[in-house]
Chain A
Amino acid sequence: MMEDQVRVQGATGVDLTLTVAGPGNRSYAFIIDWHVRALLAAAWLLLATMVFQLGLNVKTHDALLSLLPAFGIYFLYHPVIEIALRGQTPGKRIAGLRIVTRQGGTPSIGALLIRNLFRLIDSLPAFYGVGLVSCFVTTNRVRIGDMAAGTLLVVEDSGASKSLQRFSALAGASHLSLDGMELVDQLLERWQALESSKRIAIARSLLERLEPGVVAGELASLNELQLQARLLQLVQLGEAAKGGRAPPAADSA
């Protein structure tokens, strides 16, 4: 997955760094959205034909109530949802993406409409060929709709923001070095995503480095849950001394 960074001037004079989504991120979000809208349209068709007993013949009035809403859902999904969710769709939200202006702001309704109008060109000749090529060759990985609207699709790192809250609360009181805290915090955050053998090995190695006076044999006898508890205890030492709450990572474990 290719990711580029763009620096934008903030209103305070401090630049903000935006991570631009590459074709991989875009495709991932699009595929989710495509499934959502196709399923919604199909669900409406099923409801219309089976519950309301409407026909699908385009030469009858029924078509207005059966086919038209289904086409509406399918073709207006992106503009309507992006406007309602201010630059996001369910697919983009799952993929951690957001549409922003080139200045990093929230795009206007006009910009979002223009962005979606140019889907007509981006989708040519098939499977978003023009849009994909454009994403590969342009500096900010934008499709033609983004160029017309003046928007960027950026990676929204909400995990980093959550981690900041947890980490900064512990930092003031922990006896660990900053590097050590970051490593433990990262490991705990990614605990579930890592393979069991990998997380055990990393946890043992970290504890050996960070816990003063730990015996290697003692660590070898600890199972996964015990290792995780030891890591949690390690970062929470200071916080516990202050009577603080356990970090959210403990919940996910």
Chain B
Amino acid sequence: MLNDSRTKQWLGARSAAWRKAAQLVPVLQQRRHATLEEALDAVESYRSVARDLATARELAPRSRTTAGLESLYAQLHALISRKPPFRAAVFVNLLRDRVPTAAAELRTRIIAVALLMAAGFGAGWYLVDGYPELIGLFASGTMIEKVEQGHLWTEGLVNIIPSSVLSVGILANNIVVSVFAFCSGIFFGLGTFYLIALNGLMLGGVFAFVHQHGLAGALFKFIIAHGPVELSVICLAGAAGTAIGESLIRPDRGTRRDAFQACTHRVAPILLVGSMLLVGCGFIEGFISPDPRYSLRFRVIVGAAYWIFMLLLLSGRLFRPPAAPLQARRS
């Protein structure tokens, strides 16, 4: 400590400013909006506390005053660097700019992951077609029994469980699968590869099995309305997961941790859009897919329309402002 009495004098002189700053912090922390005066007050307090902290570190490095100023400075720092409150415009910007950018970045990966799923599908089909007893690995006993009796397990589903309940269960399950495909990219992409290949394998195995019992058409009719978007979203999440994996294997900036963080922030909007699409898929799968009243044509139209909607959403075209007329542009 340099000079006890001068330090005490200084503490006494600065105490009012610190008290004011300390009273301002909790008030602004609890509020969503601050007035211009309050914001300027916070910035001014931040500056003065920074100066005082630098002085306190010199005068009394291990004192409680310094610890208190460190804490106050950190709180003010968090306060003034706070993002503006959430507005709808932020969400529109996300859909208009960040989602298309992420989708464009992931294009090659999406194709690669779709091919991996297709390869898994082929392998599953080949295995169950050649060795029918292997279906036990992919389907439950009840499902197998029903198919062997000539019925799909989805028949009469709406009579057992209300469509709304069914939808919620399905969409929750699909969102968890997508989030897993995304997050398991942390295992250098291997977790994602495993999940995607396994999903393809199961799908192929089940299709081969129902084909053997003459029910492939019925299963196709069941999945065509929701399946295209559902499988596409899983591929999207998988593609994002592989990007995360690659950011860890070959970091493109700074450390692995920096690259991982940057990549996650870049591709995460895809998962958000995917989850929103899966909510729609859940409702289609709960209300339309198991209901025998809907014709195949209607289901194909729903499936195709929803898939085109997904493409428009990913390309950002749904949220782009309309182009200005030619005359206006010339002038």
- Given the complex of chains A and B, what is the CA–CA distance between A158 and B29 in angstroms? 13
What does the 1/0 interface line of B1-19 toward A look like (CB < 8 Å)?
Answer: 1001001110111110011
Contact of A106 among B18, B25, B79 (CB under 8 A): B79
B68, B74, B272 pick with most chain A CB within 10 angstroms? B74
- Given the complex of chains A and B, what is the CA–CA distance between A126 and B65 in angstroms? 43
Contacts of A173 in B (CB 8 A): 12
Say yes or no: A121 contacts B46, CB within 8 Å: no
Say yes or no: B64 contacts A182, CB within 8 Å: yes
Instruction: Enumerate B125-172 residues with CB–CB distance to A below 8 Å.
Output: 160-162, 164-165, 168-169
Count contacts on B: residues with CB < 8 A to the other chain: 64
Say yes or no: B81 contacts A164, CB within 8 Å: no
**Is the interface on chain A under 10, 10 to 19, 20 to 34, or 35 or more residues?**
35 or more
Q: For the complex, is B196 an interface residue (Cβ under 8 Å from A)?
A: no
Contact of B71 among A121, A144, A158 (CB under 8 A): A158
Say yes or no: B73 contacts A10, CB within 8 Å: yes
Known: A106-B82, A158-B71. A164 touches B65 (CB 8 A): yes
Q: Shortest CB–CB separation between residue A142 and chain B, in angstroms?
A: 9
Interface window among A28-36, A146-154, A191-199, A222-230: A146-154
Contact of A16 among B7, B11, B70, B161 (CB under 8 A): B70
Say yes or no: A106 contacts B81, CB within 8 Å: yes
Say yes or no: B81 contacts A163, CB within 8 Å: no
Contact of A58 among B51, B165, B176, B272 (CB under 8 A): B165
Say yes or no: A171 contacts B12, CB within 8 Å: yes
Q: For the complex, is A137 an interface residue (Cβ under 8 Å from B)?
A: no
Contact of A160 among B71, B160, B165, B264 (CB under 8 A): B71
- Given the complex of chains A and B, what is the CA–CA distance between A98 and B25 in angstroms? 14
Which chain B residues have a beta carbon within 8 Å of chain A's beta carbons?
1, 4, 7-9, 11-15, 18-19, 22, 25, 29, 46-47, 50-51, 53-54, 60, 63-65, 67-75, 77-83, 86, 160-162, 164-165, 168-169, 176, 179-180, 182-184, 186, 257, 260-261, 264-265, 268, 271-272
Given contacts A150-B261, A164-B64, A168-B12, 7 further A-B contacts (CB under 8 A): A14-B51, A14-B73, A16-B74, A58-B161, A63-B165, A147-B260, A172-B11
A-B residue pairs in contact (CB < 8 Å), sample of 29: A11-B46, A11-B77, A16-B70, A61-B162, A64-B164, A64-B168, A68-B168, A101-B81, A104-B78, A105-B81, A105-B82, A106-B82, A108-B83, A109-B83, A113-B268, A117-B271, A118-B183, A118-B186, A120-B176, A148-B264, A149-B264, A156-B75, A160-B71, A161-B71, A167-B65, A168-B14, A171-B15, A178-B63, A182-B65
